[in-house]
Amino acid sequence: MVTTIEANGVPLGIEQFGDPAAPLILCVGGTTMLSWPDELCEALAHGGRHVVRYDLRDSGASLTVDPEAPAYTLRDLAADAAALARELDDRPAHLAGIGVGGMVAQVAALDHPAAFCALTLAGTRPVAPGPVDDDLPDHDAATMGRLFSRAMPDWSDREAVAEFAAGSAEILGDDPAVARGVAERKWDRTPGSAPAVQMANQLGVVFAKLDCTPRWRERLAELSLPALVVHGRRDPFFPVGNGEALAREIPGARLLVLERASTAIPVTAAGEVATAMLGL
């Protein structure tokens, strides 16, 4: 059940799994909480954790103002994560971020070290959207050409949005059926099914427009908490070299490469990822 909690002065949509008295794992989605599979959240809860996944601003059940012109920065989103962790538990939390949510998580762990006791980063990279560092592999050009040359759907049409998401997943190498189901859930829980918000949910338009300065990659060596980096071997959006770089630059980080995965954590890998996360 999705509820709303205020953190850092912002209403954020959350969903909880497990015992609220158990140690907290806070999951930052790639804009939407549904980036974290139900099966993984349930496996973590069965492992004795209180799992909370949440929507970033301008997504899903969280505060929506103007997705096409966000009046906040990456560091505001990081502050949201730290404030939400404190609202949910007095103890430091295990922070987990996927995709662009992994960028939020990196900055949150650096800017608010007292709020977190462990860090999981999945399918992400150590730099913001935009020009990539020379040593990091960029998006696969052929895949991106196919992905972004597709005509946009009618964002007010649930079936069209679901079909578009399934087609995108097929291009990326993710499971089209899972992507379709997630897209339908996103559409159903977006207030008013507003086209602009749907676009933000599906394509990360909001995040691409954020002020993400200053850089944080050079600070990763400051991290002193246990860290896990999870990455799909077949990821064409953030190729696996990005995850390898994160694991090298965060002291003591463990790298878990999912050999058959692309951008999403497959349902079939939920148990393996949960075991690794619970081991931090």
Q: Global pTM?
A: 0.96
- The residue to which tokens 């949150």 are assigned: 108
Range with the poorest average pLDDT among 204-213, 232-241, 262-271: 204-213
How many alpha carbons fall within 13 Å on the CB side of residue 145? Answer: 3
Q: What is the pLDDT of residues 171-196, one digit of tens each?
A: 999 999 999 999 898 888 776 545 44
**Token couple for 27:** 């999951």
Q: Please report the pLDDT score of residue 66 as a whole number.
A: 74
Residue 209: band (very low, low, confident or very high) from pLDDT cuts 50, 70, 90: confident
Q: Which domains does the chain have, with CATH numbers?
A: 2-140+207-278 (3.40.50.1820)
Q: Within its chain, how far is the Cα of 229 from the centroid?
A: 13
Range with the poorest average pLDDT among 68-72, 213-217, 255-259: 68-72
Neighbours of 263 (CB within 10 A): 23
**Token couple for 17:** 């799994």
Burial grade of 131 (CB within 10 A; 0-12, 13-18, 19 or more):
exposed
